[in-house]
Amino acid sequence: MFYYYDPTYILLIIAMIISGWAQAKVSSTYSKYSRVYARNGRAAADVARAILDYNGLRDVRIEHIRGNLTDHYDPRSRVLRLSDSVYSSTSVAAQGVAAHEVGHAVQHAEGYAPLKIRNMIVPVANFGTKASWIFIILGALMGSMGLIQMGIIFFSFAVIFQLITLPVEFDASNRALAALEGCNFLVGEEVKQSRKVLSAAAMTYVAAALTAVLQLLRLVLIFGNRRD
């Protein structure tokens, strides 16, 4: 008995390996440096508040949310949310993550172009992510290349979102490290340790972008030569 072999499966395997490695890297790096406490002895939330105030963002609130590394900045409500593992921690890892989210708040206040573009395409990217597979599956079942192509176009919006996310995240990390060092929250080796945490976190976004690109490439390879 012969089984159908799809060579594009190798792209899925590569994507899984990249994603798994990135997640393992950020988890291990954060775990390591969450046990290294900054000499300033301040909680990450206090550091974030100080950097926000320094940048004139006193109207941005800081909230404590549940979870592990679920930290994010919400531009709609102008709220910076820090997770259980970050909010009260005095580690160089937690302070780096908190400062990174402050970086997004500063980007928002300054009208940082890549962030504005990313925020604008969020609805389109979300729709594309959900609708793409519906169109692709229906197109395959109905033998309609037109539906399949529409699904691929919708999926490409999600890929574009992932690619635009990269400069936004790297810039936020650069702002975070500059603020932590410039305001003397972290000094010497602490800055390098915090940079390692943020670099590992950035790799998860790189992995997500590569995974999206590989998935798009696989769709093009599978359906690219088909006709209705």
Catalytic residue among 101, 110, 181, 189: 101
C-alpha 123: how far from its chain's center? 17
Instruction: Give the separation between CA 203 and CA 172, rounded to whole angstroms.
Output: 14
Question: Is residue 101 annotated as a catalytic residue, yes or no?
Answer: yes
CA distance 204 to 32: 17
| Cβ neighbours, 10 Å, residue 111 | 8
Contact between 102 and 45 under an 8 Å Cβ cutoff? The reply is no
Per the CB < 8 A criterion, the answer to whether 214 and 11 are in contact is yes
Angstrom CA distances, 77 to 26, 72, 217, stand at: 28, 12, 37
Residue 38 corresponds to which amino acid?
A: A
Q: List strand residue ranges (DSSP E) for 40-175, in order.
A: 61-64, 72-74, 79-82
Mind telling me the catalytic residues? 101
